[in-house]
């Protein structure tokens, strides 16, 4: 940790699931504060999200030491469309880069990027390297038990300082069921106080390439093509003028042949909403995950 505090900059946490990445990232932000440096935390773990709801990249600016990452105030978020990273990785990279720019604009001196535990296999190695090249961190903190992230470390530019750490024996692993329960609880909390609104798609545009088979599809065609049963509970990002996330919503109704979509969102007003970002994950207002849109039609 001292090596990072002595050479402040962007730090990427790297490691498989259950190695203590989030705990170490939080400790690093606390250490930065105690050393008189201004920290920021970018939570690019879209599944086990601590900053912002799942399926988003969140930016937090701690004002004082915290016990858990989730206590850090959220200042911005970017919707990536799914909690599982593989199919939406371009969006995850873009969101991480944007949250980093926001952190730098806020004069953060140490920016800690927490990441998913998806590190093993050729696709994961290529994806993580693509993200790290875009981020251009000064440091990578590699938490590993038996060399799991060495294939990623071998591909890093020479300019990155790599710090290898062994996981604490006190790490408590979470199985698949516990991970799903965690996400569903986070969504449930997010939508707990949500209200219904009707969006007119003639006045709210589609903002980013739609995550439907990777193609950009006009909203009217999407509504016509996707069976109503699959649109129901589709997670959407409600974006402001610059594409920033104002809030998440979930679709609760579409009248056949209509331009109107009924959504549920914790917002009190849609006044700031200019665009709709269509996700692929389906989440009920209760927080229950309801499967995904069939990608690759």
Ligand X SMILES: Nc1ncnc2c1ncn2[C@@H]1O[C@H](COP(=O)(O)OP(=O)(O)OP(=O)(O)O)[C@@H](O)[C@H]1O
Task: Give, as ranges, the residues between 37 and 56 that touch ligand X (CB under 6 A).
Answer: 45, 48
Task: Give, as ranges, the residues between 191 and 250 that touch ligand X (CB under 6 A).
Answer: none
End-to-end Cα, the chain, rounded Å: 47
CB of 143 to ligand X, least distance (A): 7
**By the rule CB under 5 A, 22 interacts with Mg ion:** yes
Give the x-and-dash track for 36-65 against Mg ion (CB under 5 A): ------------x-----------------
Residues 143, 38: contact at Cβ < 8 Å? no
Distance CA 286, CA 283 (A): 8
* Residue 64: both structure tokens together: 């004082």
CB of 77 to ligand X, least distance (A): 18
38, 164, 174, 259: which one contacts ligand X (CB under 6 A)?
174
Total number of residues that touch Mg ion (CB under 5 A): 3
Task: Give, as ranges, the residues between 15 and 34 that touch ligand X (CB under 6 A).
Answer: 15, 17-23
* Residue 87: both structure tokens together: 């199919």
**Total Cβ atoms within 10 A of residue 252:** 18
Task: Give, as ranges, the residues between 59 and 88 that touch ligand X (CB under 6 A).
Answer: none
116 or 219: whose CB is closer to ligand X?
116
* Residue 259: both structure tokens together: 């331009």
CB of 136 to ligand X, least distance (A): 23
23 or 277: whose CB is closer to Mg ion?
23
Rg from Cα positions in the chain: 19
Helix (H, G, I), strand (E, B) or coil at 122: helix
CB of 194 to Mg ion, least distance (A): 26
**Closest to 33 in 3D by CA, of 70, 82, 72:** 72
CB of 120 to ligand X, least distance (A): 12
What, of Mg ion, ligand X, none, does residue 244 touch, CB below 5 to 8 Å by kind? Answer: none
Tell how far CA 287 is from the center of its chain.
17
17 or 283: whose CB is closer to ligand X?
17
Q: Taking the alpha carbons of 3, 62, 244, 78 in that order, is the dihedral positive or negative?
A: positive
166 or 297: whose CB is closer to ligand X?
166
Distance CA 5, CA 147 (A): 25
Helix axes 89-105, 122-135, angle to 10 degrees: 20
Distance CA 106, CA 272 (A): 22
Which residues would be at the binding site for Mg ion (CB under 5 A)?
Answer: 21-22, 48
Which residues would be at the binding site for ligand X (CB under 6 A)?
Answer: 15, 17-23, 45, 48, 117, 168, 170-172, 174
């Amino acid at each position: 940790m001292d090596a990072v505090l002595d050479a402040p900059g962007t730090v990427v946490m790297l490691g498989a699931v259950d190695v203590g990445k989030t705990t170490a990232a939080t400790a690093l932000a606390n250490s930065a504060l105690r050393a008189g440096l201004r920290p920021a935390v970018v939570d690019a773990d879209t599944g086990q999200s601590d900053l912002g709801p799942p399926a988003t990249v969140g930016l937090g600016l701690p004002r004082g030491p915290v016990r858990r990452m989730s206590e850090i105030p959220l200042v911005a978020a970017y919707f990536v469309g799914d909690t599982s990273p593989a199919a939406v990785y371009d969006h995850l990279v873009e969101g991480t880069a944007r949250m980093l720019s926001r952190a730098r604009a806020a004069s953060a001196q140490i920016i800690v990027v927490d990441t998913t535990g998806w590190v093993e296999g050729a696709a994961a190695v290529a994806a993580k390297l693509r993200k790290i090249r875009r981020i251009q961190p000064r440091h990578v903190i590699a938490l590993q038990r038996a060399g799991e992230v060495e294939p990623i470390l071998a591909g890093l530019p020479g300019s990155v300082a790599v710090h290898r750490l062994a996981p604490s024996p006190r790490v408590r692993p979470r199985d698949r069921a516990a991970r799903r329960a965690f996400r569903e609880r986070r969504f449930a909390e997010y939508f707990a106080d949500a209200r219904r609104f009707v969006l007119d798609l003639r006045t709210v545009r589609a903002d980013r390439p739609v995550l439907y088979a990777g193609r950009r599809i006009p909203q009217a065609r999407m509504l016509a093509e996707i069976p109503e049963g699959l649109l129901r509970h589709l997670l959407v990002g409600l974006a402001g003028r610059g594409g920033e996330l104002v809030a998440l919503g979930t679709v609760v109704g579409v009248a056949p042949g209509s331009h109107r979509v009924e959504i549920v969102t914790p917002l009190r007003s849609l006044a700031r909403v200019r665009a709709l970002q269509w996700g692929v994950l389906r989440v009920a207002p209760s927080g229950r995950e309801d499967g995904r849109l069939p990608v690759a039609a």
